[in-house]
Structure 1
Amino acid sequence: MRVSSPHLIRFGLFEVDTRSGELRRQGSKVNLQEQPFQALVLLLERRGEVVTREELNKRLWPEDTFVDFERGLNKAINKLRAALRDDPEKPCFIETLPQHGYRFIAPVENPPSVRDRFRAQHPPQIDSLAVLPLENLSGDPAQEYFSDGLTEELICAVARIASLRVISRTSVMSYKGARKSLPVIAKELRVDAIVEGTIARSDQKVRITAQLIYAPDDRHLWSGRYERELHDVLQLQAEIAEDIASQIHKLVDPGQHPSVPARKVHPQAYEACLKGIFFRDKMTPADLAKSTAHFTQAINLDPGYAQAYANLSQAQFYLGLFGMGPASELFPKAKASAVKALELDETVAAAHNALAAVHILYEWDWAGAEAECLRALQLSPNDSVTHVHLADYMSIQERHDEAIAEYKLALELDPISCIYIGFFGLILYRARRFDEAIAQCQKALEINPNYANALWFLALSLEQKGQLAESIEKFERAFSLGAGPPCRALLGRVYALAGERAKAESILEELKTLSHQQYISPFDIAVVYAGLGDLTSTFQLLEQAYQQRVFRIIELTFPMFDNLRPDPRWQDLVRRIGLPH
């Protein structure tokens, strides 16, 4: 962690650091809350002068704060005197002038400059913030899952601060180990402030240090150090969020953060959950399978752990999304896990998101999907995933303008995520805004040239623009990067549209052969037949996909099937699914 050069004020055995917000006695930190500390700074700035109670009230609380100022100020001064060990009857530091105010009477070294006085009187306006990856101090690379997982958990806790835009995990993790300066990082993420910190584990204890930096002038605003038993880690996260909120004069939203203390967790269950998150976020089929094993272990250790059920639900949903088994097996499992999470704790936003995905992709319960999306958004307005789910639902329902506006909110929270930038290309493709879709996919590929989904979505729009050779090249590259059978089927379709029937038929036979070895969706085979113009086989397979509830059947309203819209068989399928047509 970087260390800023502090501006120090000394008196007696004490030393005040106006940048870190710390009071020290003979080098040892003295615990002092924000209001008493600000009162001390004002008295030091005006040493030897009477500071009225009204002036102190204005410094300690913003104009729109509703508080009993008289009682609050008395409490702050009493805490300050206790920290300084100052006797109000025989003061060495703070003299009381009844009915008027207070005066600092001790000699002071290094008084604050005019610049520092201006800063103290005009705290910076902070409306956006990023929590950078916590630095792992254990020295053990095998503990990275713990520091990464706790970073994500801390982001979720800080995201509950009302009226604050908090950058999501996907974007901030790209700065892990980066050597960029904090002002540069803040500019790239478009935030006012940065939280950076360290984490260390010792057996069943966890220690976190954190500091808040105002990015425009690289100013240190606050730092804190926390040490707890691992089973109290949820309460620790909540405390850090509360302390950050107090520093930027905002509140943790009580509607999103229950007033009851955070539940204790089984230490090994929490650790298993962090391992599950670590593997889930790699987003490969093999890693998703590992993540479900860790989440299941967490649940077995702590059956009341709602977040573990929610995380398991998400991993099961992604396995279904990747077609790693029949939809009839994977999506009901995802739903059961989400329902169990909400039975334990209705405020877990991730479970609402997972349930919304099941409603959309498997049950075609459109009213239920929207209700779950909106509840998740209410619980977690700073979660980019929540905005993406809602935008995806709106897009599938052909509410394209609303979907695009909603998706832009997700990008504000995750501005440099190639995953979300690329998926925006798919949202724009569905809206038939192909040039914009191509631009978004290219932007994602500038961040990660090997991001298969961006190549996939780019190929879809290139096909609609009639650029078939370019579309084929992108599909081939996406497949070479592991995009799987769905991408292979789309490549076969474009080969057929480009007049290369032999290549299309070869891919068709390849998929049929593969279906005897692993699960291949009838929808994917139907895609190739549609390209070849065999509509009888196309609709026979689409009917099978409908009966199996293959999630990609909802793509029937996407541009690549526009030529089928006049067909009564297309209209009947779309009606039964409940899609707009």
Structure 2
Amino acid sequence: MTSPSGQKVQRRLAAILAADIAGFSALMGQDEEGTLARIKTLRRDVIEPKVSDHQGRLVKTTGDGFLVEFSSPVEAVRCAVKVQAALASEATHAARPGLQLRIGINLGDIIIEADGDIYGDGVNVAARLEQLAEPGGICVSGKVYDEVRDKLPYLFEDQGEQQVKNIARAVRTFRFSAVTKMAPLPGAISSQPLTLPDQPSIAVLPFNNMSGDPQQEFFADGMAEDIITALSRLRWLLVISRNSTFAYKGKAIDVRQAARELGVRYILEGSVRASGSRIRITGQLIDAANGKHIWAERYDRLLEDVFAVQDEITENVVAAIEPHLYAEEGYRARNKPPESVDTWGLVVSALSLINKAQRKSNEEAQALLRRAIIREPSYARAYAILSWAVWWETFCYWRSREGGFREMTDLAKRALALDPSEPWAMMSYGFSLSTMGHHDRALEEMKRALEINPSWALGRTMYGVALLRAGYSAEAVNETGKAIRMSPLDTFAGIYVAFHGLTLLGERRFSDALSFLRRSVVAFPEFPGHHNALISCCGHLGLVEEAQAHIQQRNQIGPPITVGRLRANLGDYAHCELFIEGLRKAGVPE
């Protein structure tokens, strides 16, 4: 389409979020400079980070408002809810009344100017919806509601068709009511249980300060807040907001009652105890339905840098919790009648099967994932996990390398086309690029996955292997070692041990690598790759007799090991010659 001047007009479909500050004129009348400073802080500390987190673009700010463009209405609504929750949380701690936003969201066609500004009915309707919203509220159009109603755990109230200024047709509007699993506001905890959602759900209760020192209260609160934030990055997990969970602060808590009131399946609780220069943090994950303790850990640290300790513990807690939640959800799905298992249940059950690294389990996992894709063809994670299953199948020589890696790549690309921010897809696609020798692109893709989920131990391990292949052996050891420290007991740990041993081998730390590689073949005896690395390590250490025993075991589970076959497989990797040198010293035939 061209404009009357002959210039081509750029159009696209977008979700538009319009927000303004309620009572702006009155606030300016009371304190003009202070209000402007508060708005700048709001933009810097809340609006810009939340918009960035949800892949939006802040188009412009007006004196009292913000205009934001999103490619996805789901992300637009998520962002709006997070912004309002952040403002509500700040208001509970502020000495003066907090700023309140009214937010309207519409999905429609827009015109994009050369300077990035946007116009059109898509924008105009969003602005009108904003005016219909209450202070602290969100109002969305019928188009947005249709897109998010089955994808987000939020309740909306139908406000009917509204005639709004300068819009020819009436606009169907819906008012955001609540997160379906959100507790009442602090001070008004309800005894009525909420219905459990289909997806996994968790509440992080305020950590107890066991120090007897009120000065440590900030650390206990900070731990819980940071863990809530980090868990919120796991998009498959519904995390109750701080504003709801901190209603329980200072109260004697019955975990099961709290879970009923918050409408969640899992509760994380913990405590902080400081003594002199040391601090101890404990945490435990509980299945509230039966009181079962799924995970518990204690962390003892020197309190030299309080924020560094806080960051480290948060990362470790989240990394440890995630795989345990996967395992519990898989167990829950397997104990349901087959016809009642939802798409999420199929995927998480498949993941547990893949982790066994056994041929039959892998076949069962792939069958579940293909069922999930038939049931919900737009579910990106199902394609991404299937790509991971195909990688295992190919690496274990259960199918041809060429066909397997091609399918792995195709599935990962399909997942990314459906959801460009799916971390499993980024990892799988990045690793397929690494396998093909495209190291720079591989590292970029896999690093993006870790930026989305920094506490993902499996993603960090695979990133370490990609670093090794690209020639960054010291960095590789650091990444694979961090994965083991982050989550030493989960179901992926056998993989972590094996690949940490491989990166140590690549760094010529053969003695250090040996124990890890020995453990890896015990954990996954059916995986030829672990045997290959152990044979090479034994060769470098002169343990020829042990190497020969492993060669015999290795040849029973895959094509006979030869220097030529391994060179062909590893030829694009920086550690190839070192690996081959160890094989020759171990007596592997050419």
Provide the TM-score with structure 1 as the length reference: 0.45
Larger-gyration structure (1/2): 1
TM-score calculated relative to the size of structure 2: 0.45
Q: Compare the two structures and name the one with the higher helix fraction.
A: 1
